[in-house]
Amino acid sequence: MKRLIAILAAAMMLLTACTSGGGSASVPAASAGAEQSAQGTCAFTDSLGNHIELEQPPKRVAALLGSYAETWLLAGGEVVAVTQDAYDERGLELPKETVNLGANQQPDLESLFAAEPDLVLLTPDLDGQMALKDSLEAAGIPSAWFKVETFADYLNMLKICTDLTGRSDLYQKNGLDIQSDIDAAIASVPEGDGPSVLLLRAYSSGVRAKNSDNIAGAILKDLGAKNIADSDSRLLEDLQMEAILAADPEFIFVTTMGASQEAAHKSLDELLHSDPAWQTLTAVKEGRVDVLPKDLFHYKPNARWGESYQMLAELMYGNGETA
């Protein structure tokens, strides 16, 4: 219930308005666009608080993150330009004329301009994309910045996108219906204190602890788990064995990052055998060390958020169904 209230509150804060008839768009009175003719005008607020107004619903959208390209497609839209991760990480099948902008960390600005987008979807989490902000503004290309780390974030973005495409049915199918699966997973959590967990992220260069400010961490928190890095921030800088032994987590969950999954798994294996103390932990002794699927816990799950919740609920509590 708390989760549902939080999501509804977030949706209430969403300032999105599109009109396709002769009325005027519902935009703040202080906005310059409020005085213009509203034939097809669309207005919304992105994750950075920027107010974006479009004279008409966008038809040529460029997405500078594979997950955002997928979200726009889930909203019923089409993309004219994407970054390479749309193919490598999402496996999207796109028309051959779709412009490939290269790596999402450093999208090709010249190719982006050549695609002539009427809206660009970006993330403020990548410096290479933030560096494009002034150039896009100077070129008069509308840009919207989204941060998506929780289901509520995804739901907000999807609401904006489906408002722009006019596909409220897809907001229901790819958003609200998924919320039902999440509610079922949360309902399966037994009453009382949840299990203690250590959340790790494995890279080719090593392993670090993570708190709840990421996809897997947020889901664990919603499911009642106690992430030991939330109460001991020292673990975020250094995996202090003394602190981990004191907490003795019941579960260890691992997400992987980087192009080489083999290298990430090797880093994890080296960590677990770097100190005999690791083998004394309850989670290790009882076989509760799980490497989580990258597509559900590192990449943004989008229409698969329900699967992410249900998987962790089953791992911690034995089932992903409602009690």
Per-residue pLDDT of 259-310, as tens digits, reads 667 888 888 888 888 889 999 999 999 999 999 999 999 899 999 999 999 9
Residue 115's alpha-carbon distances to 84, 128, 146, in angstroms, are 15, 19, 21
Overall average pLDDT of the 235-263 stretch: 87
Query: Which has more confidence, 314 or 40?
Result: 314
pTM: 0.83
* Residue 95 DSSP label: -
Among 92, 126, 131, 87, which Cα is nearest to 109's?
131
pLDDT at 321: 41
pLDDT at 263: 80
Query: Which has more confidence, 291 or 26?
Result: 291
Alpha helices in the chain (DSSP H): 2-13, 66-74, 85-88, 109-114, 127-130, 133-138, 151-165, 168-171, 177-187, 215-222, 228-231, 234-237, 241-247, 261-272, 282-285, 294-297, 305-317
pLDDT at 3: 47
Q: For tokens 């896009």, what's the residue?
A: 136
With H, G, I as helix, E, B as strand and everything else as coil, classify residue 37: coil
What single letter denotes the amino acid at residue 39? Q
96 neighbors 57 (Cβ within 8 angstroms): no
pLDDT in tens, 199-229: 999 888 888 999 999 999 999 999 999 999 9
pLDDT at 164: 93
Q: How far apart are CA 208 and CA 221, in angstroms?
A: 18
Overall average pLDDT of the 158-168 stretch: 94
What single letter denotes the amino acid at residue 110? E
What single letter denotes the amino acid at residue 313? A
| Residue 83 reports pLDDT greater than 50 | yes
44 neighbors 17 (Cβ within 8 angstroms): yes
| Residue 153 reports pLDDT greater than 80 | yes
